Structure formats: structure tokens, C-alpha cells
Amino acid sequence: MPINYPTGAIEEHLITRRGVGLFDIDHMGQIEIAGEAAETFVSHMISAKVSDLVAPMARYSLLLNEKGGIIDDLFVYRLPNSWWIVVNASNRAVDLEWFRSKAPTNVSIIDRSDDTYMIAVQGPRAIELLDKISNTPVSPIPRFCWANISIEGIPILFGRTGYTGEDGGELFFPAKKAIELWEYLLECGESFGIETKPIGLAARDSLRFEAGLPLHGHEIGIDINPIEAGFKWACDFEKEFIGKEALLSIIEQGISRKLVGIEVFGGVAREGYEVATADGVIIGRCVAGMYCPTVKKYAANAFVNPNYAKIGTNLSVIIRGQPRSAEVIKRPFYVPVYRR
Amino acid sequence: MAIDKNARYLESHEYAKPEGELMVIGISDHAQAELGDVVFVELPNVGKELDKGVVFGTIESVKAASDLYMPISGKVVEVNEEVKNDPSLVNKDCYGSGWLIKVAPTKLSEFESLLDAESYGTSIGEV
């Protein structure tokens, strides 16, 4: 996946918000967990509620260590006889090792990443496009559910999921059909008059950033816990899971920093830049920052002292030695369509 | 990549182009392409006197922030307000509507020491 295609990062972002963006995301990892005790195992390993997750549902979750640090975030799809877990490329090896190190003998952990290709089809016209070319319409499939479909005879696991804040889906299919399907999707977009373009990494990042979706290594990470990052909702405290005790203790003690969204006036705040009070006292640091093409704002996500986390608080960001005024604003900067 | 033959260049890709008594300053087509989509420019105020080689502003793209260096000494007489409001003009028309500042040169002889279009082309690997 290139940083951008010849279209350019900002235009790619805007196309995904008005037409269809195609994302070549084969780098994502897929881990299948099966076996007699798979449900108990998955439920123990991940933070989200699993007991009510029946086929064809899918759900966002965190993978925590005993300290409550976030090893990765993932999507878990409940298949009829197994659990299909989609993880970040950079954490695939670590995740696999983590699952394998904890798995009892009656649970199998299978790395499906090499055989599985993954393309995301995202945007307000994505479902319209897929409906025209799928053997069975995808529009009746609810958000966060999946179905088996086929396009041009290629068998596809279609998830009504994504990472852009737009409607659309993610397609899992045999890796050897990758080029064929990619080109077919582009051709069909053109022939149906539905604007469809390949989207690069820079726009993938700005789309997810604007929509308030986390990126591991930034808003979440091994040294970040879900409470300070605002992901308590992704943890089911009714069940037992790795990291739960640590989280309960963090909740009891209170957090020392909190993830906030800030609008920055007079520059682009980037990862690592310090955040200060209006008087210049350093109170935190940016974990991501950029120009948001849809809402037309310069914004950043930062971990700050919780006393300065209230919306409307005036802050500053130190941009190359110069304090620039900033204000805590509501996240997400762009409300995902499926949350309106 | 387009190289404006009326302009002269620094190896760091800023250009100076005569316009009457003034010099128009911007960045080359090669530079804008390398930067990718420009999202923010910070420019000096009118009246500021700047020597050749000093940082006169910053240009931020989707990828990174870069300093802007003066290709020629002079006093700022005009700043492109349109490009501040719509930084994408740098990508669309770097030698035209995407110019950055205009200066009244104080050492005009410096212009001759800049890279001409041909030498600049060679320096960026274009023949």
C-alpha cells in the first residue's frame, strides 16, 4: 500500500467520503481460532463480550496483557465453527505468539494471513457498488455482521465493517484472486458511474483519525491502558479476561492522563509534540495530528493531565519551539455515518 | 517535472523569479511533488527584511514539515494570502497562483549565483 496514489492523499480522503475508496490492506493479519474450548478461550483472551456473539456477528475488541496494556486491537468475527480474528499487520507475530502461549491443547490457533487477501471497500456508495456485482445483495447485512458472498465467482467473506467512518465493507478472499478482484472493482465502479479509486496509507490514516478510530502505536499501545484511552466500553467487566484486574485497579486509583482531541490554530501538530496549558506548563503530548480534509481542521489527539481534558479548555501545542493556541474539542471530529 | 525557465533556484528547491523590480519566491514543481499535498504554509509579515539562506517560513504537507529558505536577500512587500487560505495552490500551480512571497531584492547580484533552470534540472536528476 503506497502512501498515496497519483490522485493525492487529500483527494483520496474526499473520494472515500463521497464515492468509493478501495483499500489494499492485505498487510492485515487473520487468525482463526477453533476447537472445543475456543469460545471460553477467546472470551478469556479479549476484552469484549463474547458470550452473546453469535454468527453472523462481528465485534471490535482489545487484546490486553496482565497489566492492562493494549497488545493490539482487533475485530472478531463469529463464524459458524470458529472465531476469525483480524489484527494489525505490525502486531501479527506478537499476537499469534500471545494466543499460542495461552492456548490449551483443545484450541487451535491458525494463521490464515498468507492465504487470505483483504480489500476494504468504503464510502457512501460502496454498498450500492457491491450490490450490483455480488451474487447476493450486501445491503441487507447489518453493520458489524458478515456474510458469504461471491463476486465474479470469487468466494468472499464480506464483513460490514471498516476503518474510515463510512459505510462499506471488508472483503476476505483467496490471495491468488487479489489482482483479479481489485481490477474488477475498479472497472465496475467506472462502468456503473460510481466514483471508485484506490486509496493510500496517508488517506487511510486521515480517514480513521477524523472518525475517531484508534491506531495502535498512537492512541492505543502496549504502554497505554483502555481507561485513559477511552476504551472502557470495549471491555466487558461482567466476565473474566486477561487484564481485567489491572483495569479495575486503574479505575479505582484514577488515571493520570487522558486522551483528548484538540484543534490547533496556526500549524500542524504532529506525533511527539508537547501540549501545554495556556500559561506554558507542559501537561501532555500529541500521539497523532494532521489536517482533517472533511471537517477542514488542524487537529491532534493527545494524552494530557485529566484536569485539562474538558471540552473547551484552552491549551497550546509546541510546534517547532513555538507555542500555538489549541482547544480541547469533541471526538470524533467526524461522526461515523453508522453512529449518527 | 516543470522547471520555470524565468526562475532561478536553490538546491533546496526554492525559486526566485523576477517580476518588474520585485522577486517572486516559491517552491519548484519537483519540491511540491516530493512533498505531496500541502496543507499549511506559514509566511513572514510584510516589511520583514530577510537575508539569503535564512528560513522565511514553513511548509507542511501531509507527510512532513519543511523549512523554507530565502533564495535572495530582500524586504517582503507582499505575501500570498490566497495560498495561506488554500495551501493546495502550491501543488496546483507552484510557479503561478501558488507563489509564496514577493520581495524587493537588496542584493540583486545574488540572483546570478542561483542555479539556472538547466543546472537545477541537472541537480534534481532531470536532463
CATH at A182: 3.30.1360.120
Give the pLDDT of residue A229: 98
Which residues 274-313 in chain A show a CB within 8 A of chain B? 290-291, 298
In this predicted structure, the answer to whether residue B127 has a pLDDT above a threshold of 70 is: no
Residue A17 lies in a domain: yes
**Whether residue A297 sits in one domain with residue A271:** yes
In this predicted structure, the answer to whether residue A309 has a pLDDT above a threshold of 80 is: yes
**Whether residue A193 sits in one domain with residue A260:** no
**Whether residue A166 sits in one domain with residue A36:** no
Q: Are A268 and B36 an interchain contact pair (Cβ–Cβ within 8 Å)? A: no
Percent of chain A with pLDDT over 70: 100
Give the pLDDT of residue A79: 98
Residue B36 lies in a domain: yes
Residue A51 lies in a domain: yes
Full residue range of the structural domain in which residue A300 is found:
256-332
**Whether residue A267 sits in one domain with residue A158:** no
Q: Which one of A82, A111, A140 terminates a domain? A: A111
| Residue among B65, B88, B91 whose CB faces A268 most closely | B65
pLDDT tens digits for range A228-248: 999 999 999 999 999 999 999
Give the pLDDT of residue B1: 86
Average pLDDT, chain B: 97
Euclidean distance between CA atoms A68 and A48, whole angstroms: 13
Look up the CATH number of the domain holding residue A260.
2.40.30.110
Residue B119 lies in a domain: no
Full residue range of the structural domain in which residue B79 is found:
8-109
pLDDT tens digits for range A51-84: 999 999 999 999 999 999 999 999 999 999 999 9
SS3 B86: coil
**Complex ipTM:** 0.89
Sheet containing strand B101-105, strands side by side: B8-9, B14-19, B22-27, B101-105, B74-79, B49-50
Euclidean distance between CA atoms A172 and A115, whole angstroms: 10
Number of domains in chain B: 1
Residue A188 lies in a domain: yes
The residue-averaged pLDDT of B105-126 equals 95
In this predicted structure, the answer to whether residue B36 has a pLDDT above a threshold of 80 is: yes
Euclidean distance between CA atoms A147 and A232, whole angstroms: 29
Cross-strand pairs, A284:
A275, A304
Give the pLDDT of residue A240: 98
Instruction: For Cα atoms A162, A72, A37, give the angle at the middle one, nearest 5 degrees.
Output: 95
**Whether residue A138 sits in one domain with residue A53:** no
Instruction: Show residues of chain B in contact with A298, CB under 8 Å.
Output: 39-40
Closest CA to A83 of A92, A91, A75: A75
Closest CA to A306 of A230, A223, A239: A230
HSE (side-chain half, CA atoms, 13 Å) at A102: 22
End-to-end CA distance of chain B: 11
**Whether residue A122 sits in one domain with residue A15:** yes
Give the pLDDT of residue A340: 87
Residue A227 lies in a domain: no
Residue A249 lies in a domain: no
Euclidean distance between CA atoms A175 and B106, whole angstroms: 63
In this predicted structure, the answer to whether residue A197 has a pLDDT above a threshold of 70 is: yes
**Whether residue A95 sits in one domain with residue A43:** yes
Report DSSP state, residue B80: -
**Whether residue A188 sits in one domain with residue A78:** no
| Residue among B39, B58, B91 whose CB faces A291 most closely | B39
The residue-averaged pLDDT of A245-254 equals 98
Residue B118 lies in a domain: no
Residue B40 lies in a domain: yes
Residue B48 lies in a domain: yes
Euclidean distance between CA atoms A27 and A99, whole angstroms: 19
Number of domains in chain A: 3
Average pLDDT, chain A: 97
Instruction: For Cα atoms B26, B31, B34, give the angle at the middle one, nearest 5 degrees.
Output: 150
The set of residues, in sequence order, having a beta carbon less than 8 Å from that of A9 and lying 6+ positions away, is A3, A200, A202, A203, A206, B36, B37, B62
Indicate the pLDDT class of residue A303, thresholds 50, 70 and 90: very high
Q: Which one of A61, A95, A111 terminates a domain? A: A111
Residue A303 lies in a domain: yes
Look up the CATH number of the domain holding residue A67.
3.30.70.1400
The residue-averaged pLDDT of B7-13 equals 97
Rg value, chain B, Cα: 13
A2 Cβ under 8 Å from any chain B Cβ: no
Bridge pairing between strands B74-79 and B49-50: antiparallel
Residue A154 lies in a domain: yes
Phi and psi for A250 in degrees, rounded to 5? -65, -40
Residue B66 lies in a domain: yes
Indicate the pLDDT class of residue B126, thresholds 50, 70 and 90: confident
**Whether residue A282 sits in one domain with residue A204:** no
Residue A171 lies in a domain: yes
Q: Are A267 and B58 an interchain contact pair (Cβ–Cβ within 8 Å)? A: yes
Residue B62 lies in a domain: yes
In this predicted structure, the answer to whether residue A250 has a pLDDT above a threshold of 90 is: yes
Residue B71 lies in a domain: yes
**Whether residue A262 sits in one domain with residue A177:** no
A320 Cβ under 8 Å from any chain B Cβ: yes
Q: Which residues of B touch A (CB under 8 A)?
A: 36-37, 39-40, 42, 58, 60, 62-63, 65, 88, 91
Look up the CATH number of the domain holding residue B94.
2.40.50.100
**Whether residue A19 sits in one domain with residue A154:** yes
Q: Which one of A151, A178, A210 terminates a domain? A: A210
**Whether residue A199 sits in one domain with residue A137:** yes
Give the pLDDT of residue A269: 97
